[in-house]
Amino acid sequence: MTFEQSSLIDPLKQAVEEMGFSDMTEIQQRAIPLVLEGKDVLGQSATGSGKTAAFGLPILQRLKPDMEGVQALILCPTRELALQITGEMEKFAKYTDAKVAAVYGGQSIQTQIRRLKESSIVVGTPGRILDHIGRHTLKLSLVSMVVLDEADEMLNMGFLPDMERILHALPRERQTLLFSATMPPSILSLARRYQKLPETVEVASETRTVSTIRQFYCRPDPHKKPETLLALLRRDQPKRALVFCNTKRMVDMLMEMLVPQGIDADALHGDMRQSLRTKVMDDFKKGETAVLIATDVAARGIDVDDIDVVYNYDVPMENEAYVHRVGRTARAGKEGLAYSLIGDLEQLWKIWEIASFVDAPIEEMDPPDISGIEITRPRRGPRPERWGEPGSAARRREGGRPRKGGGPRQEGSKKPAEVTLSGEAKGQGANRPRRRRPTGKKG
């Protein structure tokens, strides 16, 4: 089915056509009519299947143009995903009067307040949404539609209390749309409590996500994993690649090891300033950075169709996380390539479990030749507030790198003067009489 054949209004069809879309995905074909009818929807669909259009287009059509105020609220787990959804919604709304505001931590609250006053759709993370509710800068009395996007990830990140507070603050008469890549019991419980007779739309099983991806794993020397990754990068010469680590500390350390070896790499994780995270994302999307090293959560907002290779430097702890990772290299009908570096026997068992879960072969291969490659390990992982020093491509492009040992010293400041005691002061302690301990004898 094409968008032209759908029941969407002409301004939305025109915007979609200009974006280069003609055929609807399965989640769009099944969800859009239900949302247009005002029904609650519980949708399960894989990453990259077009969920944003599935709820975004009908929401725009159901807005009341004569009503001023926020009518739709979209919750998502990360700042990057909030920006991605906002960008897509603004493109969909090009030929309508709807305004979209993104609210998330790390951005000026005053800027967001100004945008909220003129917007009919708000996209944001739970924490910042609650902040605006508490400040009375986000009024919910007119909200008739709410979307929980990537609901499973929001639960994994511990946002359930925030989500419930927001849902309780919304009008009881509303349309609630819940979209998730997986449907664990916690998601079904959430749906039972906050949705009214939802229509279930389940499409694009996780196994289809990786069917067009060639997947491999290798077992290098556990102490030589950085050298192995470097050898793979030099061999493949990807124009755009993603490297996934399980921890923010490992992301920083790996970047500090690869950049001095000539790899055009940047890092992305939750401890970075929002302005820097946005710049790193933009540089990667524009192709100015070839390799992006990231954690799972930070990479949720990456919307790039031409990623050549995905490298799992660390094997993910959850099967679904693996699918999310490698699915980023097989978008828009293209074939993909994924490598996983196995560090110990537990990770080997995990990759076998993942292969069974995705019902697709993950072939073992020999580790690449690392002879002649020597990488100096950082003495310690960089502190969160020192992120990007040295080695961040984004900071290098801004022209300058902070000194070692923390942020730049304030101009005109001096090292603390050493404090010395005068001879008189030194002697005071020596001349002081000692206090006698009680002996316990009377008299």
Best CA proximity match to 54, nearest among 232, 204, 207: 204
Domains 10-204 and 207-398 share a fold: yes
Top mean pLDDT of 178-192, 321-335, 340-354 is at 340-354
pLDDT at 205 (0 to 100): 53
pLDDT at 380 (0 to 100): 58
CATH architecture of 207-398: 3-Layer(aba) Sandwich (3.40)
Top mean pLDDT of 119-123, 184-188, 307-311 is at 119-123
Residue 400 has pLDDT above 50, yes or no: no
Burial of 196 (0-12, 13-18, 19+ CB in 10 A): exposed
Q: Of the ranges 106-120, 214-228, 317-331, which one carries the lowest mean pLDDT score?
A: 317-331
- The number of beta carbons lying within 10 Å of the beta carbon of residue 203 is 18
Residue 286 has pLDDT above 90, yes or no: no
Cα–Cα distance between 92 and 90 in angstroms, integer? Answer: 5
In this structure, what token pair is assigned to residue 208? 């289809």
Fold of domain 10-204: Rossmann fold (3.40.50)
What's the rounded mean pLDDT across residues 4-27? 91
Residue 124 bridge partners (DSSP): 75, 103
Cα–Cα distance between 371 and 220 in angstroms, integer? Answer: 13
Residue 147 has pLDDT above 50, yes or no: yes
pLDDT at 257 (0 to 100): 93
Instruction: Note whether 313 and 294 are within 8 A (CB).
Output: no
- The number of beta carbons lying within 10 Å of the beta carbon of residue 125 is 24
Domain map (residue ranges) of the chain: 10-204, 207-398
pLDDT at 218 (0 to 100): 95
Question: pLDDT higher for 330 or 216?
Answer: 216
- Return the percentage of the chain with pLDDT > 70, whole number: 80
Cα–Cα distance between 20 and 305 in angstroms, integer? Answer: 14
pLDDT at 282 (0 to 100): 85
